[in-house]
Structures are given as structure tokens and as C-alpha cells.
Structure 1
Amino acid sequence: MGQKVLVIGSGAREHAIAHALMRGGSVDEVTVAPGNPGMELDGIRTTQVNPSNHAALIDFVKNNGYDWVFVGPEVPLIEGIVDDFAAAGIRAFGPNKAAAQIEGSKDFAKQLMERHDIPTAKYQTFDDLERSTAYVRKHGAPIVIKADGLAAGKGVTVAMDEETAIAALDDIFIDHRFGNAGAKVVIEDFLEGQEFSLMSFVNGTEFWPMPISQDHKRAYDGDKGP
């Protein structure tokens, strides 16, 4: 008999993961929490359990006999959902709370890279508008402004002039666009070249790289749009 798997998330990523699990041959049943209507139209089972309600998810897994859980989104990972599953004796795929800090705080990730001599753009971290603005004025543009925490992919501004950079800082510190995620900013040197992602599955000292991919955040050819 195949496995029963719960996938946590509601986006296209979790939709694709659910399909991949069902095609793999070892899984008989996949449920996505909370999922979305598109998944239901595609024949994927969903359940309306809040990913931030860890106790409810643990009860759901135990009461319905799921073998393991795949956690997709960053927020529940940073909240420590994998740790809570482990404490309840449930196998879960995803980083624990300590490891998820790499995604949850850009400043944490930059400090980690510095400690371990991993090449990264030069940067400074600030928690106030005055000093961050002075840094931009001193170093000029192009320059990159990043809200420290999770901002749903919207927290980075590649500023080609000082005015755009300072407007981004105003957005973060005065308008509080990103809430607590903008309590600090990381300001990086601008690097030229093509950006790509190389993600890997990691288990202790072993890793299995996935195909290289690119994330095209801006509209229109040549990154000309918003």
C-alpha cells in the first residue's frame, strides 16, 4: 500500500509538488492544506487547516493516518512547524526553525556567509532611516535595498539612482510597508550579470542539486517593467 502525504501550502509550487508526488509511484494519496480552488478543479484533495495552526495540523495528520508531511511556504518553516512535527513524532520534509533563519532574515544569511567565507555582495545592515539614507548618499547608485524579513517577494529594490533607493527606504521605515519584516534593511552593492538559482536537497553531508532556474521578477523583456 502506498503512502499518504500532506502538503502544506496554497501556491503553484505546492500544486506542482502534489502532482509530482502522485506520479512518483510510492504515494497513493496527497492532500494539500489549505490548497486553492485550482487544485480542487485539478482533482487534488484539499483541507482548510491553517498552516500557522500547528496543533490543528498535528491532530489532522495523526487522526487521518498520514505518513509524512511536505512543508512548502517559508512562514510556517520560520515559525518552527518542522520542529513541532518532529516533537509529535511526525516525519516532515523541510528545514527546522534554526535552519529556516537563512530564508527568514537576509541579515542572518549575510552574516552566515561572511563567517564561512561564502562569496556575497558587500553590504551593511541598518535599523533606522537616517543612517541608511546617509549610507546611500555616500555610496551612490546603483545600489540594492532589501527588507530584512519575509516580504512575499516584494522586499527588494534594485535602485539605479539615489532617489529610487531613498524612496525605497522611506517605504520601509516611514510607511512601514513590510511591517516587522522591514525593521531592518540590508543595503548591498549592485552586481552585474545574470541571476540564477541552484537549489539542492540536503541531508547532513550529502546533497542532490536540482536543475538551475531563473526567477524573472520584473515585467517585459530586458527587465524594463515594474
Structure 2
Amino acid sequence: MHVLLIGSGGREHALAWKLRQSPRLSRLTVAPGNAGIKAIADLAALDVADHAAVIDFCRREAVDFVVVGPEAPLVAGLVDDLAAAGIPAFGPSMEAARLEGSKAFTKALCDEANVPTAAYGRFTDAASARAYVEAQGAPIVVKADGLAAGKGVVVAATLDEALDAVDACFAGAFGAAGAEVVIEEMLVGEEASFFALSDGETVLALAAAQDHKRAFDGDEGPNTGGMGAYSPAPVMTADMQARVMAEIVAPSIACLKRRGTPFRGVLFAGLMIGEAGPKLIEYNVRFGDPETEVILPLMESDLLDLMIASADGTLAGHKAVFSADAALTVVMATRGYPGAYGKGSVIRGLEAAGTVEGVTVFHAGTAERDGEIVASGGRVLTVTAVAPDVRTARERAYAAIDRIDWPEGFCRRDIAWRAL
């Protein structure tokens, strides 16, 4: 099969790396890809927001199956347009992708499906939102309703922070994404990321991971897209996983089916595990980043098989098998991230890093210039290690990082501190 993978980050490098292992794959093209992906797949300079161009490419290059990595093309309806053109694809429809595209949509679905989540209010004007914040007090969470590249959520410790966040949303800080605001109670407990596959009816549990959102050690500094992750997450015991499936994931999938908008693809539940059990923080409708980089190296099943079954409604009877090992990934980012950062700094030592036992270096924001690898984004590398336990995986990952020569980069040195 000729597979086209849409995306350019660390998640897509990990997906490409795993898809390459499928005996069903004959050719892999990634659009637009990055410098690391170039070593294992063909790259195509496609504007993935131009759905007609993607469809033309699929027809011209005889693409058999499309895998959509990031959320924006899913929310924009790329899978719907591919389906209308007769091209099979992995990922939800535009309507089902509203689970990530609109926080208000997800909250309403939780109400309908009786899914445990934070108490909330929805607002389309600043005055009402400010009044709600003042009535509820702090700490409190303010969220722009739409996609804001991971930057539309403020966990406000004080009333002033919350009011400033409300004003920023309605002043256009997040564009159209902030035209509606969801304000939630702050959940207390331990966060976890849980992934499941669905074909619209059957739901198949995959794996859990724990992400690290803050930029610096000790969970200090601003929120980021993720500075590291590990799997399995100790808080997600077999019993807790069963509860998450029964109380959160399965009811959500069943609700979307009842509505006539079945969910096909991977569902990523961001969870808070507290004294009362699991509660849903948010849904994403694609593989997470950097969680993908720790989940896929542990997967023993054929990912392409599972994706095709999800897309064509034949997931029943399939199993997702994972190794008993542990995996840990550390994100290396450009200094200044998640704020302003420079581009073009040279990265050396990647081959040496990749020789550490159990280590794979996935590229996120990289490009090739004059035969050298350079940083082209904020999150640039995800250094993943697999080992019999989390502690050894962490030792291997940091041993690999110590071989990377990149003065302009930084990373957290405490990934998996909760587990250890």
C-alpha cells in the first residue's frame, strides 16, 4: 500500500517510524514532513490546508490510504473531503472532530452522555464571563473554545489572572477560537493521557501515558505543548483503565453514534484522576505529542492494520498488543520556547545519541541546511528510550541527550518524577 501521512512533528515521525514496520506498506509519503522523517519516507511539499491539492496528489500518486496526524486538518474536514473523493483515510469526520475543535461541544456531550467532568459555564461575552469568575472565585480554568495551538487554556491561580484571561480571549488574543469561552472548576488529582481506537461502534483501548506540560523542572514555568512523557503511567492501573473506558470513552463514542456522527479514529482523553475517580479534562481527536513517541515504541501490533480497521468499520476482533517494557521521551526545545525563539541553530551529535541502547531520536521541528540538521521550531527533538523499567529508560534517554551538541537547546531533567 502507498500511505500518505499528513503532518510534520515528532508525532508524525513516530507514526512514520511505526508505519514503516507494517508488511502491508510498500511506499510511505509524508506531507510536509521534517529532516528526520526524510530518512525513512518520501516528503511532499503539500499545503495540507488545500484539500483539493491533497486529493489531486492522492490520485496522481496512487495513494491507497491517508493518515491525518494533526488536529487542524481534521477539524477542517479533510477526512470528509477525502471520503467524498473515494480516498480512505484514518481520522474522524469534521463533525466528530468537534470534540477537539470546540470545548463547549465536548462539555455538552459530557452532559448528554453523563461523562464525569469539571463543572463549567459557557460564555459569548466578557461581562457574563467576568461575573461568573467573580462568583466562583479562584483557582479556576479559562479556556478559549476553539483550536488555539495549545495556548488557549489558562489555569488561573488568582481572580486577576482569570479576569485577564477572559479579557484576552474576548479581545482577540486567540482569534476566532476565543469568540466563546468555557470556564471550569479546577480539578485536583494526577493527570494522565489515555488513548483508544474506535471505528464508530467498537472501542479498543490502546495505552496510557503521562505528559509534562510545564517548561521547566519541578513543573515550573509556562505551559507548553509537552516537554516529555512516559508510559505506562502508574496512576492508570488496570482497574482505572477499565473505569475510564466504561465511564468516559465508551459513553462518548456511543453518544456520537446515536447522534449520527460516529467517531472513527484515535480518541485521546486528557484525564484527572482524583479521589472520586477519573474525570475528563478534554478530548483530542488525534494521537498526542509527545505521548505518541512513548506509546508506539511499546506497540507490538501492526499500526497500519488497526488504522485501516478503524477507518472501514472492522475493528471488532482486533487486539492492540503492547510490550511489558517502559518508554520515556524527553523533548529538546529551542531556548525561549514557548515564547519567542530563534530558528536555524545547528544540531550535532544525533547519530551518537541514537547509538545508546534502546534509544530512538524523533525529529519535531527540524530542517536540513547545507547537509546539517538545524532547528526550525520550538519543540525540536523528542529523545525516546525503551527499557525494562522507567528508571532505566530515563537513564538511557538522558545519556543520549548528553551526546547531542546543541547549545541553543534545552530540556527538562526530571521527566517521570512522579513515577520515580
Taking structure 1 as the reference length, the TM-score comes to 0.94
What is the aligned partner in structure 1 of residue 377 from structure 2?
Answer: none
Q: 1:26: how far off?
A: 1.7
Alpha-carbon distance between aligned partners in 2 of 1:32 and 1:117, rounded to the nearest angstrom: 39
What is the aligned partner in structure 1 of residue 57 from structure 2?
Answer: 60
Alpha-carbon distance between aligned partners in 1 of 2:144 and 2:117, rounded to the nearest angstrom: 17
Q: Does 1:86 align with 2:83?
A: yes
Higher relative contact order (CA 8 A, sep 6+): 2
SS in 2 for 1:146: strand
Bigger drift between 28-37 and 109-118 goes to 28-37
Tell me if structure 1 keeps the 8 A contact 2:68–2:91.
yes
Instruction: List runs of 5+ in structure 1 lacking aligned partners.
Output: none
Task: Give the counterpart of 1:134 among 128, 131, 135.
Answer: 131
Q: 1:225: how far off?
A: 1.4
Q: 1:37: how far off?
A: 3.0
Alpha-carbon distance between aligned partners in 2 of 1:16 and 1:142, rounded to the nearest angstrom: 36
Alpha-carbon displacement from aligned partner over 1:161-214 (angstroms, at most 9, x marks no partner):
11111111122112x111000001100001111111111110132122121112
Alpha-carbon distance between aligned partners in 2 of 1:181 and 1:169, rounded to the nearest angstrom: 13
What is the aligned partner in structure 2 of residue 147 from structure 1?
Answer: 144
Aligned AA (2:54): L
Tell me if structure 1 keeps the 8 A contact 2:124–2:179.
yes
Alpha-carbon distance between aligned partners in 2 of 1:224 and 1:75, rounded to the nearest angstrom: 29
Aligned AA (1:198): F
Query: What is the 5 A alignment of 1:109-124?
Result: 109-124=106-121
What is the aligned partner in structure 2 of residue 77 from structure 1?
Answer: 74
Instruction: List runs of 5+ in structure 2 lacking aligned partners.
Output: 223-420
SS in 2 for 1:6: strand
Aligned AA (1:136): V
Task: Give the counterpart of 1:51 among 30, 48, 55.
Answer: 48
Alpha-carbon distance between aligned partners in 1 of 2:142 and 2:184, rounded to the nearest angstrom: 7
SS in 2 for 1:70: strand
Aligned AA (2:97): A
Q: Does 1:34 align with 2:50?
A: no
Alpha-carbon distance between aligned partners in 1 of 2:32 and 2:220, rounded to the nearest angstrom: 35
Alpha-carbon distance between aligned partners in 2 of 1:210 and 1:68, rounded to the nearest angstrom: 21
The percentage of aligned residue pairs carrying the same residue is 50
Q: Does 1:16 align with 2:11?
A: no
Q: 1:53: how far off?
A: 0.7
Aligned AA (1:185): V
Matched positions, count: 222
CA root-mean-square deviation: 1.2
SS in 1 for 2:3: strand
- Report which of the two has the higher share of strand: 2
Alpha-carbon distance between aligned partners in 1 of 2:128 and 2:12, rounded to the nearest angstrom: 40
Taking structure 2 as the reference length, the TM-score comes to 0.52
What is the aligned partner in structure 2 of residue 96 from structure 1?
Answer: 93
Alpha-carbon distance between aligned partners in 2 of 1:88 and 1:209, rounded to the nearest angstrom: 30
What is the aligned partner in structure 1 of residue 207 from structure 2?
Answer: 211
Aligned AA (2:44): T
- Report which of the two has the higher share of helix: 1
